[in-house]
């Protein structure tokens, strides 16, 4: 708890320290969010991030009244933006990083592209969102789907890869 106490006086906290503290200590939502903010994650209001929660760099912007459930992994090499009133189920992966298919470049190059979730988006349990994807307002992604294309507003997508199922 001494480390957490010392972090209260710091203007910023390194991501590994913040990630370790929020995942290993029993902290209130307010204290967890304060640590996340000091490591680069921005909040636009009251939101809940349930532990364990894993992220790399803190390039994450979370809107008002967002709920992020347990076990989520955000590979935030590029920006991740989450709109107001969004729900993210357990074990969701938002990955802004990928590698080229060419075997010569695969181990030396990282491709990054931002992920944007609109307002009132619901990602079911185990969803994977790949780099460069934008999910429109009020859309739902069914559990265990893999999203590799942009999703328009007010639709339900499901499957691996996720495809259009119906309008909402």
Residue 82 pLDDT: 98
CB 121 within 8 A of CB 135: yes
Residue 58, SS3 per DSSP: coil
What are the b/e assignments for 143-158, b being 16+ CB within 10 Å?
ebbebeeebeeebbbb
The single residue listed with the structure tokens 């203007």 is 11
Q: Which CATH superfamily is domain 42-167 in?
A: Hexapeptide repeat proteins (2.160.10.10)
pLDDT in tens, 118-155: 999 999 999 999 999 999 999 999 999 999 999 999 99
Domain boundaries of the chain, sorted by first residue: 1-40, 42-167
Stretch 33-60: mean pLDDT, rounded?
91
pTM here? 0.90
- Of 25, 55, 51, 23, the residue nearest 40 (C-alpha): 55
Q: Please state, in angstroms and as integers, the Cα–Cα distance from residue 138 to each residue in 27, 86, 94, following that order.
A: 31, 9, 18
Q: Which helix (H) or strand (E) holds 37?
A: helix 29-38
pLDDT in tens, 77-94: 999 999 999 999 999 999
The yes-or-no answer on residue 99 being catalytic is: yes
Name residue 55's beta-bridge partners: 74
pLDDT band at 5 (very low <50, low <70, confident <90, very high): low
pLDDT at 45 over 80: yes
The single residue listed with the structure tokens 């680069």 is 40
Residue 20 token pair: 């370790």
Cα 133 to Cα 146: distance, rounded to the nearest angstrom: 11
Q: Which of 59, 64, 99, 167 is catalytic?
A: 99
Sign of CA dihedral 98, 103, 105, 108: positive
- Of 135, 131, 151, 18, the residue nearest 77 (C-alpha): 131
pLDDT band at 59 (very low <50, low <70, confident <90, very high): very high
CB 168 within 8 A of CB 137: no
């Amino acid at each position: 708890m001494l480390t957490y106490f010392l972090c209260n006086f710091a203007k910023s906290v390194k991501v590994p320290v913040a990630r370790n503290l929020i995942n290993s200590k029993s902290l209130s939502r307010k204290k967890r969010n304060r640590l996340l903010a000091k490591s680069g994650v921005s909040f636009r209001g009251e939101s809940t991030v349930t532990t364990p929660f894993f992220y790399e760099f803190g390039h994450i912007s979370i809107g008002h009244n967002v709920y992020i459930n347990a076990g989520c992994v955000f590979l935030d090499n590029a920006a991740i933006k989450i709109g107001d009133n969004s729900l993210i189920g357990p074990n969701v992966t938002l990955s802004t990083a990928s590698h080229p298919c060419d075997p010569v470049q695969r181990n030396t190059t990282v491709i990054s592209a931002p992920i944007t979730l609109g307002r009132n988006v619901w990602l079911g349990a185990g969803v994977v969102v790949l780099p460069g994807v934008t999910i429109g307002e009020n859309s739902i992604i069914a559990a265990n789907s893999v999203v590799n294309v942009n999703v328009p507003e007010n639709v339900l997508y499901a499957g691996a890869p996720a495809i259009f199922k119906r309008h909402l």
